[in-house]
């Protein structure tokens, strides 16, 4: 499985594609949270003194992503937030990005992969070709796990995730910049660059 950093980068890409329209920091952080939410399955194990006990179970399935989206939709509706369906789809997509990254990563712990099609079938699936390496997690208690994850292997794993995902992040940023340029009204100036949507500099900039 990739590290939280890899999952957060994937969440950033998902937000750039589907979440930019909301222009809201809560939506941004909600998308990032959703991208790592599947790994909350560490929590019950941490409480019981065995962090790996429930990891890579049913939270790593398309069914869980659907339930997550439905729960988000319900919670947003309760809070009387507008565009609840679009937001729920955004958060479910970010949750799904987690499954994609895990599917394409090395997994050295049995059973390998994730029960992707739970609750229909309990079979575990993993891609025949891995794009990402495996974060090594020592078996044992929480302290053993925390002490063991800070290793050279895991540092290299994270660096490799960044190398693989950075092209997607750059593409997403360019896409976002292009969208903002198109959406900005003609004649309005970007506060950051002082350039309008037609590429003209503001009068303040030019001294006119």
Would you tell me which residues interact with Zn ion (CB under 5 A)? 1, 38-39, 102
User: What is residue 49's three-state secondary structure?
Assistant: coil
Q: Tell me the closest approach of the beta carbon of residue 98 to Zn ion, in angstroms.
A: 6
* CA atoms within 13 Å, Cβ hemisphere of 99: 23
Q: Tell me the closest approach of the beta carbon of residue 4 to Zn ion, in angstroms.
A: 9
* Contact indicator for 81, 72 with CB cutoff of 8 Å: no
* Contact indicator for 166, 172 with CB cutoff of 8 Å: no
* Nearest-angstrom CA–CA distance, 49 and 35: 25
Q: Tell me the closest approach of the beta carbon of residue 114 to Zn ion, in angstroms.
A: 8
* Nearest-angstrom CA–CA distance, 160 and 133: 8
Q: Tell me the closest approach of the beta carbon of residue 180 to Zn ion, in angstroms.
A: 32
Q: Which is nearer to Zn ion, 38 or 116 (CB)?
A: 38
Q: Which is nearer to Zn ion, 9 or 76 (CB)?
A: 9
Output Rg (C-alpha) for the chain, integer angstroms.
20
Q: Tell me the closest approach of the beta carbon of residue 16 to Zn ion, in angstroms.
A: 21
Q: Which is nearer to Zn ion, 149 or 195 (CB)?
A: 149
* Contact indicator for 73, 88 with CB cutoff of 8 Å: yes
Q: Which is nearer to Zn ion, 22 or 132 (CB)?
A: 132
Neighbours of 117 (CB within 10 A): 14
Q: Which is nearer to Zn ion, 39 or 161 (CB)?
A: 39
């Amino acid at each position: 499985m990739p590290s939280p950093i890899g999952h957060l980068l994937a969440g950033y890409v998902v937000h750039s594609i589907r979440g930019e329209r909301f222009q809201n920091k809560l939506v941004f952080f909600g998308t990032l949270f959703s991208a790592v939410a599947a790994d909350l399955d560490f929590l019950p194990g941490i409480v019981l003194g065995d962090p790996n006990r429930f990891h890579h179970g049913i939270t790593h399935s398309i069914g869980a992503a659907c339930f997550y989206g439905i729960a988000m939709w319900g919670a947003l509706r309760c809070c009387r937030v507008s565009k609840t369906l679009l937001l729920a789809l955004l958060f479910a997509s970010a949750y799904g990005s987690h499954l994609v990254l895990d599917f394409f990563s090395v997994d050295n712990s049995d059973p390998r992969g994730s029960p992707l099609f739970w609750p229909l079938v309990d079979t575990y699936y993993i891609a025949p070709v891995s794009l990402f390496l495996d974060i090594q997690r020592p078996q044992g208690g929480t302290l053993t796990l925390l002490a063991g994850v800070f290793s050279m292997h895991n540092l290299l794993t994270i660096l490799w995730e960044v190398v693989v995902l950075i092209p997607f992040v750059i593409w997403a940023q360019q896409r976002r910049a292009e969208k903002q340029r198109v959406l900005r009204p003609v004649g309005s100036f970007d506060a950051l660059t002082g350039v309008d949507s037609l590429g003209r500099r503001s009068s303040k900039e030019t001294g006119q």
